[in-house]
Copies of this chain bind each other. A is one copy, B any other.
Amino acid sequence: MTDKTYVFGHTNPDTDSIASAISMANLQTQTGRYAESYRLGNINKETKYALDTFNMQEPELLSKIEDHTNVIMVDNNEFSQSVNGIENAHIQMVVDHHRLNLHTSEPVYCIAEPVGCASTILYKLYRQEDVTITPRIAGMMLSAIISDTLMFRSPTCTDQDRITAEKLSKIAGINLYDYGYKLLEAGTDISDCTAEEIINIDSKDFMHHELKITISQINSSNVDEVFKRKPEIEKAIEAKIKKENIDLFVFVVTDILEANSRVIVLGNRTDIFERAFHTELIANTTLLKGVVSRKKQILPAILQGIDQKIEL
Contact = CB atoms under 8 A, between A and B. Distances in A.
Interface stretch (A59-67, A107-115, A172-180, A243-251): A107-115
A127 to B, nearest CB: 11
Interface string A74-110: 0000000000000000000010011111111111111
Interface string A196-207: 000000000000
Interface string A211-247: 0000000000000000000000000000000000000
B105 A109 contact: no
A100 B103 contact: yes
Contact of A112 (B101, B105, B110): B110
The size bracket of the interface on A is 10 to 19
B109 A112 contact: yes
Number of copies: 2
Contact of A106 (B105, B108, B114): B114
A110 B109 CA distance: 10
Contacts of A105: 99
Interface string A46-74: 00000000000000000000000000000
Contacts of A114: 106-109
A105 B295 CA distance: 11
A145 to B, nearest CB: 15
Contact of A100 (B97, B98, B108): B108
Contact of A111 (B102, B104, B106, B111): B111
Given A100-B102, A102-B100, A102-B102, A110 B111 contact: yes
A195 to B, nearest CB: 33
A288 to B, nearest CB: 21
A118 to B, nearest CB: 11
Most buried by B among A104, A110, A113: A110
Nearest to A107: B114
Most buried by B among A104, A107, A111: A107
A90 B278 CA distance: 27
B107 A98 contact: yes
A35 to B, nearest CB: 18
Given A99-B103, A110-B111, 7 more contacts: A98-B107, A100-B102, A101-B103, A107-B112, A107-B113, A108-B114, A110-B110
Interface of A: 94, 97-114
